[in-house]
């Protein structure tokens, strides 16, 4: 099971990332947002070391928001790790990390050229940059974060998979001071470090009983 986290504070973001590692730590991804420049994107097999990130990249100095992804394999057979199959996925200036499964992935023509279902999201956002429109085409568990480096927008989508927030930071797992977002079809935007509900879309959880 995957986990997504984010915060404007590196220490908080890493704390939440570590909580999500309990779900699995097969691979990790990190996107660091900075002003008027391409984001720093790191991917690796296994878990990040906080000390190493600080040493190598001076976390907290030039970056204004930190977005993590942690992944456990979805089956008992672990494929060989590769950067290409590790979140976040990128197409042009859209970056996406996803916690869930796109159950209708194979129905899209583009799926024949992609190795991971999640990687179709940034591709579709580039060709139709309206989040509601893209996510209404998808089925499954769709909670994810999105970064648009063209306009430096951070969005968080709640659709099926779990999401908790204290209004500034967010995580797939519960953390102190956070409330669970129970409604689905919500699109949040990070504005002045706060998570603000901006839009909604029609979403039906296919796994809801």
Indicate whether 76 pLDDT > 50.
Answer: no
Domains of the chain, residue spans: 3-73+87-200
The values of phi and psi at residue 203, to 5°, are -140, 130
CATH topology for the 3-73+87-200 domain: 3.60.20
Mean pLDDT of all residues in 150-173: 97
- What is the C-alpha separation between 31 and 95, in angstroms, rounded? 9
User: Are 41 and 69 spatial neighbours (Cβ–Cβ below 8 Å)?
Assistant: no
Number of H helices, E strands in the chain: 4, 15
- Tens of pLDDT along 97-131? 999 999 999 999 999 999 999 999 999 999 999 99
């Amino acid at each position: 099971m995957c986990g997504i986290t984010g915060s404007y504070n590196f220490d908080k973001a890493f704390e939440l990332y570590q909580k999500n590692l309990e779900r699995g730590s097969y691979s990790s991804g990190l996107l660091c947002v900075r002003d008027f420049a391409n984001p720093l994107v790191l991917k690796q097999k296994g878990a990040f070391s906080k000390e190493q990130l600080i040493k190598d990249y001076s976390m907290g100095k030039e970056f204004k928001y930190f977005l993590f992804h942690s992944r456990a394999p979805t089956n008992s057979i672990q494929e060989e790790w590769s950067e290409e199959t590790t979140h976040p996925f990128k197409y042009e200036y859209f970056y996406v990390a996803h916690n869930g499964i796109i159950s209708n992935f194979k129905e899209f023509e583009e799926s024949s050229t992609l190795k991971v279902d999640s990687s179709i999201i940034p591709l579709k956002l580039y060709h139709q940059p309206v989040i509601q429109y893209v996510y209404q085409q998808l089925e499954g568990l769709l909670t994810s974060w999105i970064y648009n480096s063209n306009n430096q927008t951070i969005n968080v989508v709640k659709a099926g998979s779990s999401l908790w927030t204290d209004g500034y930071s967010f995580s797939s797992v519960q953390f102190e001071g956070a409330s669970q977002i129970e409604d689905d079809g919500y699109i949040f935007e990070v504005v002045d470090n706060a998570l603000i509900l901006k839009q909604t879309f029609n979403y039906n959880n296919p796994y809801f009983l």
